[in-house]
Amino acid sequence: MIRQPTWALPQTTTTMSDPYTVPIASRTSNSWFRRVLAIAFIISFDVGCIMVNATQFMFLVPLRLLPFPWAKSLSEEVIRYTKGAFGCLLILMCQWFAPTKLSITFEREGMGKFTEDEIKKIVERNTLGEVERLNLPQKLVLVANHQIYADWWYAWCLLYFIGPDGMHRDIYITLKKSLKWVPIVGWGMQFFNFIFLARSWAADRKQLSVSLSALAQKTEQSDNPFAFVLYPEGTLVSQHTRPVSKKFADKLGIDDMTHSLLPRSTGLHYSLRSLAPRTSGLKLLCITWVYPGIPPLGYGQDYYTLRSIFMDGVAAPTIHLHFRMFDVNHELPLGASMAKANPNVIPSPGSEPAVEVEIPDIEKSDFDNWLRTLWHEQDHSLDHFHRHSSFVSTVETTPDAEIPLRLRKTRDFFDAFCFFVPAATGYIWSRMPFTG
């Protein structure tokens, strides 16, 4: 276990309110010491990103030029290693500069509920009673409400604790196509095999289906874990998006959400139809996130931004998560037309319309209604939390699992900076006869 630096421990305050309960615009300016730590964060995170990207260029570019099966397999392992390294870097930044913990509960009554026996099997503890890992299925589509831009950061951190070796090496997300060529970060995301979209379903739907179908088939053949993260709301709740959601609800003649936005089902529906035929045992993990300090009907970005969390050092002391889970092939209304899907065939961008994206209107409507029902239930859970500081309606409010965001192994600290790859390369190079 990595020792927690003394300057990264949760800080107490002498003010009447904890900093995270005060809007960012109303907080006092940082002390000189906090500014030094902000510089340390920038340096540490940038160095980690550069090391990950350098490792990718050093190994992946040559390997992709070699026409051998072993080169392709090794290339896939390098991708997983660097993706895992970046996941470790994200947790290390929390551990050093913005300590927090995940407080997890499981749905027991409504949609996607768990039994008590299932919960006991999922939450694995050590002899001290600390959570070692979450034994969730290794083929997941993760969806959640979207409150702050750090949601994706914490979702990646969560995957580190799922399964015997973590799933942080096997995450896939969609990004704006404009981010594809951002130096270092954009290049790294390309090497991670993330999916870049133009945010126009007319142009994106076939590309999304082709990319996910290929990923699913490859994952099934290699038997590696798989985690695809998607936010159906598409954007954050804000003073600009709240009226848009209300207008959309009025157009459909349905009730708008109170604490979140109406989900857009199209992207999720296409994704699940592409993944389900080619991924055995695929599950949908729906997570409801709550960050303390954000008042009911408040906007998350007024209280938490990446800058305020990591440079100002004002992180949520606890992030609350509520889990629901569904069997994609048996519990979700993907549509009867999916019976025509061929799991052995990858849709081609130039081919005739694929069944994965050519969805009859009635099937679209069924899935849309299902997703809205789920989101309304999630919205009720958010309302219950704001009223009672708990997702569950029982008297017992103790979380099912609490996981501090810190690295579990010393090796992971070195992996965060891809230390072993350049170190091993340097050692091998030094032992070459021509180096003297």
- Under 8 Å between Cβ of 133 and 163: yes
3-state secondary structure of 220: helix
Whole-angstrom distance, CA of residue 350 vs CA of residue 186: 27
Q: Which two tokens stand for residue 22?
A: 């005060």
- Under 8 Å between Cβ of 84 and 227: no
Whole-angstrom distance, CA of residue 270 vs CA of residue 434: 55
- Under 8 Å between Cβ of 377 and 239: no
Beta-carbon contacts of residue 258 (< 8 Å; ≥ 6 apart): 297, 379, 382, 383
Q: Which two tokens stand for residue 84?
A: 């895992």
pTM of the model: 0.90
3-state secondary structure of 432: coil
Beta-carbon contacts of residue 278 (< 8 Å; ≥ 6 apart): 213, 216, 217, 220, 343
pLDDT tens across 39-63, in order? 999 999 999 999 999 998 888 888 8
Q: How many CA atoms lie within 13 A of 410 on its CB side?
A: 1
| pLDDT at site 268 | 93
Q: Which two tokens stand for residue 395?
A: 């008297």
| pLDDT at site 426 | 61
| pLDDT at site 9 | 43
| pLDDT at site 146 | 94
| pLDDT at site 69 | 86
Whole-angstrom distance, CA of residue 288 vs CA of residue 375: 10
Please tell me what DSSP assigns to residue 199: S
Extract the residue ranges of the chain whose pLDDT is less than 50: 1-3, 6-15
Q: How far is CA 103 from CA 155, 165, 318, 340, 389, in A?
A: 13, 21, 7, 42, 12
Whole-angstrom distance, CA of residue 323 vs CA of residue 46: 33
- Under 8 Å between Cβ of 259 and 291: no
Average pLDDT, the chain: 87
Which conformational region is residue 199 in: left (phi greater than 0), alpha (psi within -120 to 50 degrees), or beta? left
| pLDDT at site 423 | 59
List strands edge to edge, sheet with 101-106.
Answer: 195-197, 171-176, 226-230, 139-144, 283-290, 318-327, 101-106, 401-404
- Under 8 Å between Cβ of 290 and 385: yes
| pLDDT at site 7 | 46
- Residue 287: phi and psi, rounded to 5, are -115, 130
Whole-angstrom distance, CA of residue 266 vs CA of residue 264: 6
* Sign of the four-CA dihedral 373, 374, 379, 383: positive
3-state secondary structure of 159: helix
Residue 210 CA from chain centroid, whole number? 21
